[in-house]
Chains A and B, each alone.
Chain A
Amino acid sequence: MRKIKSETIIKAIENLCAKANFELPEDVLKSLEQNVALENGIAKDILEEIIENASIAKKEQIPLCQDTGTANFFVKLGHDVALEEDIYNIINNGVSLGYTNNYLRKSIVSDPIERKNTKDNTPANIYIDMVSGDKIEITFLPKGGGSENASTLKMLVPSAGWNGVKEFVLSSVSDKGRNACPPLVIGIGIGGNFASVGLMSKKALLREIGSENKSVFYNKKEKELLSNINKLNIGPMGMGGKTTALAVFIETEPAHIASLPIAVSIQCHSCRRKTIMV
């Protein structure tokens, strides 16, 4: 067993909260730059503003967006890791310090109806997969509320098939994409059950833009959907254009014989994510 001190992980999370919110991932920046050439007028101006913003935020180490998000953590916890305390406590302590010490916005209310701010952006949403080994891989996805509100989930029936999935994805983006700060990244979960399909769609957002789906079938479908979405003429910030989405990523799970669950996680252009190993 490898012993890891709470302090080590807390420090790493604190730093991760800042870095992920200050620096747009290279693949996202590259994709935005590629799309500038395809646009003109307002659409082009907006993409250029987004790129300039990324450069200011990185240089000054300030947040890219005022919505520094819900703190989502995807953790691969090695079986041979011995922790001093509950992993959930450790991560939440890191988030509290990270959001407070780095002047990030606290956007969490303790109750959905009463709506009182918790003042340190906790609790984080923490998803843990147990894996072999003696390391912890932690991926942080700070996600804004505006784009999260545009996300959708539906229990389709098996006869709906791929066409049903495609129709649902396109109508979701078409109905709600404009207000979710496009160009978007679209994470899609297909299969599993009501509980797992949403998480799948969220995990899909962690893929690097430009990476291929391991399945030949779904790789082709991702490209087909991206092409269809970019014909919707929603464009940057919903004011028309060719760049409605930068990428579409699909994750799947086996499903019940009666069910075809589908979830669409809508991610804004400020597609902030960062992974560390402890």
Chain B
Amino acid sequence: MKINLKDLILNTKTLKAGQKILLSGIIYTARDAAHKRIIDILDSGKEVPFNLKNAAIYYCGPTPAKPGNVIGVCGPTTSSRMDVFTPRILKEGVKFLIGKGTRSETVVNSIKETGSVYLVATGGIAALLSKTVKKASLIAFEDLGPEAIYKLEVENMPLIVAIDSLGGDIFRVRSKLLNNSTA
């Protein structure tokens, strides 16, 4: 199913765990170091580099772009490393999280409470995913190198709904993940 992020913001409930989608819209890359900085900025009361309200965050640190290419290759990194930051990020208004792998129970609850959605891309297919990026611009934290924040415009990015706004979790349903086992 083709989905445009703009149409989805007010109605995240239409997405169900296990559903395959082709996502189009604006997403922002942020991984470990960028998350830490965003939280520090929020704590200091200053303004973060992009509007978090209804935003989509992609856990990704791309390779440098080859001359002539929009971006380097850009697959998802392991989401669970961001679990410690995620409840705060969602509280600040972020609506969509894109990464790979399982999330903690705290994050699942936080997703439910805020009516947000966690989407997964297949890890290790960064060359394929890079073809869905139509525009890319560096917007903050350049000194972090691959961990800088990029604004990406994606078209038909292949994703799976992993945790829906009601707390449905594909990892817990499909592979009988125990509640205490989230590596």
Contacts and interface: CB of A to CB of B under 8 A. Distances in A.
Interface in A232-248: 233-240
Given A49-B125, A179-B183, A103 B72 contact: yes
Nearest to B18: A42
A46 B55 CA distance: 27
Contacts of A180: 78, 183
Interface of A: 42, 45-46, 49-50, 52-53, 56-57, 60, 62-68, 103-107, 115, 117, 119, 144-146, 149-150, 174-181, 233-240, 268-270
A64 B126 contact: yes
Given A65-B124, A119-B145, A237-B122, A178 B64 contact: no
Contacts of A52: 125, 128
Interface string B121-157: 0111111101100000000000011100000000000
Contacts of A233: 175-176
Contacts of B120: 237
A46 B158 CA distance: 10
19 contacts: A49-B158, A50-B122, A53-B124, A53-B126, A57-B73, A62-B66, A66-B62, A66-B74, A66-B146, A107-B146, A117-B145, A119-B145, A146-B78, A177-B183, A179-B80, A233-B175, A233-B176, A234-B175, A268-B123
Interface of B: 18, 20, 33, 60-66, 72-75, 77-81, 100-102, 120, 122-128, 130-131, 144-146, 158, 160, 170-171, 174-177, 181, 183
Contacts of B183: 150, 175-180
Contacts, number: 145
Given A49-B158, A233-B175, A239-B174, A105 B122 contact: no
Contacts of A240: 174-175
A239 B171 CA distance: 6
B124 A174 contact: no
